[in-house]
Every structure is written in structure tokens, then in C-alpha cells.
Structure 1
Amino acid sequence: MSEVEPIRVGIVGVGNVLNQYLDKIAVHPDVRIVALADVNAEAVKGRAQQYGIDKALTPDELLDDPEVELVLNLTPPKLHAPVSLQAIAAGKHVLSEKPFATSLAEAQQVLEAARAAGVHAGSAPTTFLGSGMQTSRKLIDDGWIGQPVAAFGSFACRGYEHWHPNVDPFYSPGAGPMLDIGPYLITNLVNFFGPVQRVSASTPRSSQTRPRPTGDGGYEGVIDIQTPTHVTGSIDFESGAVATVIVSWDVWNHNLPHLEIYGTSGSIAAPNPDHFSGAPVLRRGEPGDLALDMTPPGGGDWRQTPITHRDDAYRGIGLAEFGHAIRTGVEPRTGGQFAYHVLEVLLAFEASSTQGRHVDVDSTCERPRPLPSVGPHEPYRFD
């Protein structure tokens, strides 16, 4: 039995990511999807039929609908801030896909508008609420690796043009690998270590254009590359910990871990931070690690740990947590100050490379509260 009345959600944008929110939304009884909207009338009608949702609307109609309390903003990144501002002007709470905005000025507008309207604004990614990352967080908080001092995170591939049907926005200003896939790393690192103090980075691009695949193994025309495609740098946290980050669309293949956390007594290999499930692997410090030539990779006593949270959350957990916070009068874990801070860190990488120096991060945020542990068949809890 749900403890609060379900939050009534209207979703703007019915593209590729919609199914990742709705396929498992039934595990979150605190959420009720009441409407979908898109500028493509045919697409929104088909998606509404697919998920059994009565209202297939235009964006303006959704924003005017008094039944909608919370807008989930799944529009393209350059529209995140404008659509969020429209939702706030309509008196709605709004949770946006990542990134929160494409500039700090836009993000500040969203925060100020939400504050003035008395509504909440926040942003994905919410994978830090999934079982893999919450279990990793619990291992850190419970002292299994001692004092956390460092981390390494990476996402690297050859780019999206080989599979994505609309790739040009990914290579446009305000996009690129750091703002597209980097949020998963940075959000989870802030969840583990708390707020960031400064960033130092290099952000090259391997070419000004790329061949445009035709889908049948050939190429025709080019894609203009208007954003860095390889980002590497270091993060200093207010806690004293440091992290090394590599995010790239210039890499054919690699053998890098997605996310590892290193402490004074051991290490954690966390699951893929783009996923909601998976179990971290724990390695406590061993005498063999003290030698100059330490235990080789894969050796020693690495142990897969039992997960401490349900592992069927998927992206709907962000809606459920956000709605529960609204109902209970607390700040969402995915709230505006957290989203703004993560965005400032993401943008600091290119700023550091352009300026040739460390870049201080002016904002701060509260380290998100951990979720209570629940068994595989117990209801999700957000208190």
C-alpha cells in the first residue's frame, strides 16, 4: 500500500528514452502517468496507445492540463531549459532528462523561476538511485574500503552515428560525450564523494567532420563536429578525494573499468553507472598488494557483494523519488541544486581545457541522502 497519493505526471517528448521510463513504471505505485505530449501528433498517439495512456496531447495542451502536477521533460538537450521554464510558468514541477541545461545561465534561470513559482525543478540521471550504485554507496559509508581517497571513471566508444537515427544534435554545441554520457559518471561520483571543488582537463576532438553512415554499410556526406569528442581530466572534491575521468567518442576499443573507488583499506569496482542494476565487486587490501609487483588484475580476493536494494528500478525511480519528495515536503535527491552543481562540473572540463588551468567550481550541494535498503519484494522507500 502506497504511503502517499500518486504524483500525476505528464511527459513531454516521446522519443527513444520514453520506454526506459515506462516499461517498468508499475513497480512505482507512487507515480501515475496521465498524459503524453509531443510536437509529432502521430508519434504521441502511437506511444499513448502502446502504454495505455488516455491523453495524447500537444506540449501546450499538456502544460494547460490541470491534472498534470509534474512534467517529465524528455525533449532534446537544447530544449531542456526552455521546456522546463514553460512547465514552471504553468505552475508545474519539472524533472528533466540530462543535462539539466546546456549552460549555467540557463540552469540559473530554471532555478530562479522554480523558486519564484514555489515548485521543484530537477534533473536526471537517476542511476545513482539504482541497486548497483546504492549498494556501492553503502559499502563506502559502512567503511568497507576505509577512507575513500580516489576514483577512476570512464565511458569510451567510437560515437553514436553508427546506430542512432538522429545523431547530429550529439555533435552540436552544448552536447558531446561529456554532456551526454558524462552526467552518469559525475552524478555517481558526487553521490559517493560529495561536492566538487575544482576541475582540470583537456578536451580535444579528433576531426572536424565524420563520415555519415547510410545504414547499409556505406557512407554519404559528413557530420559536422562542433564539440570536443575526447575529454580527460581530474576532479578534486571538497572531501579531499580525487577522481580521474575519461569520456570519449574517439576510441575504437579499450579495457578500462567503468567506475572504481579506492580507499585506504580496499577497492570497489562499481557496476556500469549508466545502468540501474548490477552488483559491485569488493577487494579488501591484502599482503600481496604491498609488493612492488602487486597481485595481477583478476587475482586476489575480489568478491561480488550482495545487493542491498531492489534491482528493478529503471528510470522510473527518478519520478517516484521526485514525486515522494514533493508529497512529503522534502528536497528531492535529484533536486535543482544537485543538478546545477553536476552541470557546472561537466562544463568545467571544457572551460579548464580552453583556459589552460584548474577551474574552480563555485556552486556546491548536499551529498544526496542514501536510499533505505529494501529486499527484492519490498516496496521502494524514499524516506
Structure 2
Amino acid sequence: MRDLLPHIRQWYADGDRFAVATVIDTFHSAPRQPGAAMAVSGDGVAVGSVSGGCVEADVYEVAHEVIQTGLPSVRRYGVSDDDVFAVGLTCGGMIEVLVEPVDLASYAEFDAVSDAVDSGRPVAVATVVTAGDRLGRRLVVSPDRVAGSLGDWRLDAAVVEDAAGMLDQGATAIRYYGAQGECGRTDVAVFVQAFTPPPRMFVFGAIDFAMAVARVGKFLGYHVTVCDARGVFATRLRFPEADEVVVSWPHRFLEEALEQGLVDRRTVLCVLTHDPKFDVPLLEVALRTEAGYIGAMGSRRTHDDRLSRLRAVGVTEAELARLSSPIGLDLGARTPEETAISIAAEIIASRSDASGQPLSSTLGRIHAETVDRATARQESRSLPSARSSQGTSVQPAALR
């Protein structure tokens, strides 16, 4: 929904009812992940996508029905074996889509959710997606408040607890409960969509390659910060796409970012200076963070020299193993733009634990289920340790 906000916020402000279709679950080679969304206005304007074009026409028609009736609907789309032109995913996957009406009366919390997403404040939206009189009921969970209800305070309490944990992980998935929030039951399915601040990309070294990496980072949805100790190069004029341009010694800046809690498992660190007086102290700090990707630019000779210097200051072999250097995949890149694509490709492959090989040379599913997603699907039916199997959670103050 994040990408749709510029459009649907105006629709909401105008007071007209519109429909939002959201992917809530996927199976096999589905083209889009849970959270992908499409919106349709009352006068027929469509924005966004739920499948990359496979089922949009049918979802568009369902959206019009939802706008007319004011009632939400859940649809499942899968491969059509009999007629490849029938409504279905010819890629062989399957998706479930929630189509819900949105207007001032049905979604009073919409502005608060939109403001949180726009400002980078964490918020989770939990929606019942099981057929019945609770379908479409919604609970909005922020670190400091809860709004709405799913129809039972015990179910609300269970979902609030799970949503808080999913916000910490940036996870979006369906969770299952008993009618009164009991664990180990599947009577009620709740789609929890966590909106967390964008992941951060720190680009160290204000060189021409960094300009291209900053542009690609923004395109991929990162909050991009460029840092260099040389103020003549680290300027807003040279890096207009970056969210922040900082003049500071890189290792000191990274230490400050760590103290502020700005580095987590989603963080990307691109070290492009290839100068030992900057690289070594910076990488000594970086390799001891939990950043998901740490890459350093330089020739193989520079890389070998860098490793020797890092070992000399006490960096362990296990820590060195986290370093992607020379940075990027072997694409034959030469220009800054080509090199930025090479780096972005390695970041994506690292994030998804993919091989980085040509799809024509691999077997199996193209859109393989990630470890995080598989874990979420398994845990959605497991017993959370903080709740009893009878759903007798202590009611949060926000729900009393």
C-alpha cells in the first residue's frame, strides 16, 4: 500500500469510497509477495498491481462490486490448466487477495495509518480474512496505541501481541487463532501487514560510482545516506537522490549510527572509498554489526591488502567471511551505472539467499519461498510462548 498512498490519500480526503486489493498469501511461483496492492477508485481509476498483470482484470471487477456493496471479499487465483486465457496465474503459482472497501465510515484509522507510513513510524494493520461476519474487521497496532477491534477482546489481545513482534521483524503474513484468540486453532485467519521504516543503505565514499549506487538504492526502496570525510565531494548537489549526505569520518559516523539504533539486519553497507585510511577503521566497525550486507570496492590486490590490514587490527576470519569484496556480481560492469547494477544484484541475491546464476541455468521454482517466509508460515500455526493455549492472555491496557 505504501506506493499507492499518493493516489488513495486524495481519494479518501475527497470522501469517495474506493477499493484496495491486497495480496494476503502466496503459494509456489506467485509473482508478487503478501502486501502487494492495487486500488480502484469509484470512477474506475486503477493504480498498483497484485500479480504483474495475470489477474488484474478480474480483481478490477471484484473491486467495483466491493465499492457498490461496501462488503469485503477474498478471492483465490491459481494456474488454469484447461484454458491459459482464463482467469488464473499462468506462471503456475497461486495467490489469495483481500478486496476491501475504504471510505471515511469503514476505515476511520486510514489517515493515522497513512501518516505513520509516510513519516516512517512503525504501524501494523491486522485484518480478519476468514469468511463470515468478522471478515474485514480491522485492528491498527502502533508501539504506543491500538485502534479498532476484531470482534473479541481476547482475539484482539492475541493479535496485538503477535503484531508487535512482527513489527520488530518487519514481517507480513497470515496468523491463525481460535475465535477468542486461542493458540493452535485455525478458526480465524488474520492478515497482519507490518509497515516498518525503509531499510537503510549507507554508501561510504562520495565518488562517481557512489552517485549511481545511491540512485539504484533509492529505486530499490532504501533510505540512502552518503558519507565521506571530504566535504568538497560529499555535497547535496552531487547526490540529489540521497536522503542524507554527511561529512564525517566514515567509522565515526557508523559508530554514531550504531548508537542510534540505525543498523539492523536489513541494513546495507557499501564501502566504495578503496582507501585504507578510511576502509580499515570503517570495516573494523562494520564487520561487527548485524548489517545484512557489507560490500567493499577495490581490485583484488586492494582486497588482499585490506584483508591483511584488518587481520592486523584483530578482525577474525569469521568476521572477514561476511565481507563481499570485490563488491558486486560478475556482470562485466565498467561504468558507474553498470557497477551499481552489479552491486544491487548482489544485494538482492544476498537478501534472498539466491544463487545469482542465470535463471536459464537453474531448475525449480523461479520465485522460491524465502527462509523468513517459510518460517512465518510455520510459526503462524505454532504456540507463542507468551500466551496460553486457552487464549487467556492478560488484556493490554489499550484494549481495556
Q: Shared fold (TM-score greater than 0.5)? A: no
Greater RCO, 1 or 2 (C-alpha within 8 Å, sep 6+): 1
* Structure with max Cα Rg: 2
